[in-house]
Copies of this chain bind each other. A is one copy, B any other.
Amino acid sequence: MNSASVKQDAGFAANGDPRSQVDASRRRALLAAALGYADKVRGIVAQVLEHGVIVDAKPDRSLVTNADLAAERAFRDAVEADFPSMGIAGEELEPLRPAADFQWVIDPIDGTAEFARSLPTWGSIIGVFYKGSPLVGIIDHPGLDLRVQAAYGLGAFLNGRRLDPGSKAPLAEKERACIGLPARRNFNRVSNDAHVFDALVRAYPDFRVLCTCLTHTYAATGQLDASVEWDAHLWDLAATRVVIEEAGGRYACVRERVGPGGYKLYCAVFGRVDQVDRIAKMVSAHI
């Protein structure tokens, strides 16, 4: 975590789309493997919940628990055994084989603060990238028994039911948009961007602040019209773009830069096409 070099770059700004080089049966197999790992992570977290969660603060004051660590280790062991030539990046441990074409990315518990408070809104995130483009994504919310999953070209699903891309159509004139936002604190973690939050809540006074990954899920299902993520790491967004796009929505990266520790930080907007365009334009004018 101390190097100033970019430790991962399975980013969202690839030129062209290399994903068509990966045939559908391979994408399907990677999705099947990812679903198996998501089940494994669910099981490990449930075990920790049963035996007792231990919460620690990391040097950056964010939280980590014994569940995060146990789940990420088990995920890594499984990927290493099944796909020994592929790269692995995760929130809690150092990247492995960062130059490999295929990259597995995990955030074992996104929303550790909610997890530590027994709020059911946290999620586990798993993504697979190929040459920097997102191929497979899963956001799993065991506390709500919700799971969204997608693979490039194969559609997005909520608990096994295909998400209708039509739900990402523009809002009707009289409809009031409801969007998902991170808390104001998230805009000030790395730089002083709280004015962006203030502008967003003036333009969209009817917003919700849930655990961020749950706002990603709801932007994919259409239950929220769009959501915003701020100075997030790759693992926070590992599943979002492919899930949103396969659900017929738009994903816009409004800022990408190298942050503390040498990891890239992303600001992104995703959801209904019209709302994403409007929000991305507005946010871009403020940064």
Contacts and interface: CB of A to CB of B under 8 A. Distances in A.
Contact of A188 (B113, B181, B197, B205): B205
Given A184-B201, A206-B185, A207-B209, A178 B223 contact: no
A119 B218 contact: yes
A208 interface: yes
Contact of A184 (B113, B118, B207, B210): B207
Interface in A90-121: 113, 117-120
Contacts of A119: 208, 218, 223
B210 A208 contact: yes
Nearest to A113: B178
Interface in A214-269: 218, 223-224
A144 interface: yes
Contacts of A184: 201-202, 205, 207
A205 B186 CA distance: 8
A119 B206 CA distance: 14
B223 A118 contact: yes
Which residue of A119, A197, A207 has the most chain B CB atoms within 10 A of its CB atom? A119
A192 B126 CA distance: 43
A221 to B, nearest CB: 8
Given A113-B206, A119-B218, 11 more contacts: A113-B178, A117-B224, A120-B144, A144-B144, A183-B207, A183-B208, A185-B205, A194-B205, A197-B201, A208-B210, A210-B210
24 contacts: A113-B178, A113-B206, A117-B178, A118-B223, A119-B208, A119-B218, A119-B223, A144-B144, A181-B209, A183-B201, A183-B206, A183-B207, A184-B201, A184-B207, A185-B205, A188-B205, A194-B205, A197-B201, A198-B198, A207-B209, A208-B209, A209-B209, A209-B210, A210-B210
